[in-house]
Chain A
Amino acid sequence: MKKVLKPREREQLLGTVYAFPMGIWFTLFFTIPLGIIVLYSFLKRGLYGGVEWQFTFDAYAQMFNPSFAKVVVRTLWISIVSTLGCILIAIPCGYAMAKSKYQTFLLFLIIIPFWTNSLIRIYAWISILSTEGFVNTILIKLGILTEGVQLIYNNGAVVLVLIYMYLPFAILPLFTTIDKFDFALLDAARDLGATKLESIVKVMFPNIKSGLSTAFIFTFIPIFGAYTVPLLVGGKDSTMIGNIIVDQVSKTRNWPLASAFSMVLTFISLVGVFWMLYTGKREQQQSKKTTQQSLEQNVRKHHLPRGGK
């Protein structure tokens, strides 16, 4: 007879067998690479790319160079403006989708452009906004313009295209949370004397906080680290942190500086993620069951019937 394992040992063994392949994969291709970046950001720049094994804060000091600082500030304002734009558009959209009878169809419509290749979508905007593009051609045809105007390669175009690219990232989580929201609460608020706007702001918003924070993070982080959009539709003054990192790696070959900027991006992203998790967790705790029930759950583990007794 085989050796019989106690449940504890069995769990340890099975958990390891099931989950460790992925754990090892991530360690190899995610944790270690990230660790190397952390390490490199404190090393001295090599003469022809690479690094020299000498501990220094040089890379971080370089970030305060005015030309870089300007880029950081620009990245911040572009990200904030685009993210707020996305969320302001996404709230009514998510609300309407949650109320609609045709949810699947609407989801379909949102997801089609979202799943279309991002370069193709940027390209579509280039062909609309460029000097010989769609908008200019039409305006000239209508006689409003005599010659093409440069609508592209400026910060406005960057913000517009960023909003376009990341709007679905804001709509989808907002839709999911608003869809779970009990609309009877709005009726109750109206019944108790709130106006429609008041009932939405005072009753619905507090209940969809986790959706709002998820939407914010899921748009802000990728926009903050954007690389292709500023590169392809931005002008000379549209460089963002993402572009600096890539330039430092591929052109200037200053790996420590690229690593240091990556650390800044990572740090800001992580702060955002933990904030998001925190709001999500607090919401869960508010709907927590009584101690008696959680005790029961603790014992029965997964055995409670759906919906409870």
Chain B
Amino acid sequence: MKGVEVTVEQVSRAYGSFKALDDVSVQIKKGEFFSLLGPSGCGKTTLLRIIAGFDYPDTGTVEFDGKNILPLPPDKRQSNTVFQTYALFPHLTVYENVAFPLRLRRVEKNELDRKVREYVHLVQLDEHIDKKPSMLSGGQKQRVAIARALINEPSVLLLDEPLSALDAKLRQNLLIELDVIHDKVGITFIYVTHDQSEALSVSDRIAVMNKGKILQIGTPYEIYEAPATRFVAQFIGESNIFPCTVLSCEPHEGEYMLKVDVPSLGGVVSVTDYDPLEIGSEVDFTVRPEKVRITSTPPRTMHKELNLYKGVVDEPVYSGFQSKFYIRLDNEEKSIVKVFKQHTTFLDEGPEIDWRDTVYVSWTATDGYLVKETNR
């Protein structure tokens, strides 16, 4: 496997009184597609720029395969960067942009030509090879930037929100292409983004960041299904989140079955979890809107651990392939539960649900999840 292992150890960086990075440690495996995900100002770009050599940490180390690289300037590191603003040289053609690193290394002419064409082909820009950047579309510019960053055969490719200036459709296509390129070149990719769907769809692993700290590192599945903190649960996808207190905890089919008191839902909720929790601990109960079932009549299956609530549709939001409903529960708290419903018609579906209809929302114990860190 090509690529290197990138180890970031206890890195901190402050701009004046603003802590951009606060004691951040992360280990990125060889050849991994690793994403740094978080809202703007969370420190993800600062971390990337430190790895690239454009910024310097106040404390901490960064290692490539166990070798400290902090003393090296950007041009001496085995990493190359794809910039958010493309950073193409406006006075050079596509060919010359891609050839730039080779010309600096005085690569022999035929070899240079062969390699440039190979990498321009890799990003499918063969027919635009003699154009200036100003004649290219945003997507094409970013492809040039990718080819230019790859031609030095780096061990790590650093991508700083490379798709954020592009429109949604193009973003999807280029993302898939990026994934294909990653498979082809097999080096470590570190991808910075504020877009959770980008990160979820291509990453091997993701680090979710906020306020200069890494909150959780895990596979997209882990991050989505088992958010470690309240922030992660809210930032990735949508969630119904309610504070709760653990009432009981018993082993159940290799996991644990817990009863928790959720005041906002007006009582006790059953939920399963991988780990046991101490009775009386204050945590957050979450359930993803797409896991909540919505029906106009009470569901017929009387599942033992089914959590069932009656409510009124407060606000239906139609968005094509699915609808989102805000359900105001019929209890003292009048809490709102968000529900996604796919627009597929099955025989057992009841009449269409509309504004002000009385409905039933339900989910099983395994659909819920308990978030242990509620203040991060």
Contact = CB atoms under 8 A, between A and B. Distances in A.
Interface of A: 4, 6-7, 292, 295-296, 298-300, 303, 305-306, 309
B41 A295 contact: yes
A7 B56 contact: yes
Contacts of A305: 84-85, 164-165
B46 to A, nearest CB: 6
Interface string B302-319: 000000000000000000
Interface in B258-315: none
Interface residues of B, number: 19
Interface of B: 15, 18, 20, 40-41, 43, 45-46, 55-56, 71-73, 83-85, 160, 164-165
A300 B71 CA distance: 22
8 closest A-B pairs by CB: A4-B71, A296-B40, A305-B165, A7-B56, A296-B41, A295-B41, A305-B85, A299-B20
Contacts of A300: 45
A212 to B, nearest CB: 35
A295 B45 CA distance: 13
Contacts of A296: 40-41
Nearest to B212: A299
A128 to B, nearest CB: 49
Given A298-B18, A299-B18, 10 more contacts: A4-B72, A6-B56, A295-B41, A296-B41, A299-B15, A300-B45, A303-B45, A303-B160, A305-B84, A305-B85
Contacts of B41: 292, 295-296, 299
B164 A299 contact: no
Contacts of A7: 55-56
5 contacts: A6-B56, A296-B40, A296-B41, A299-B15, A299-B45
B209 to A, nearest CB: 12
A22 B72 CA distance: 31
Contacts of B71: 4
Contacts of A4: 71-73
Given A305-B164, A306-B85, A292 B40 contact: yes
A300 B55 CA distance: 10
A304 to B, nearest CB: 8
B325 to A, nearest CB: 29
A299 B212 CA distance: 11
B15 A298 contact: yes
B192 to A, nearest CB: 11
Contact of B46 (A292, A299, A306, A309): A299
A254 B194 CA distance: 70
Nearest to B85: A305
Contacts of B73: 4
A305 B165 CA distance: 7
A300 B15 CA distance: 11
B149 to A, nearest CB: 16
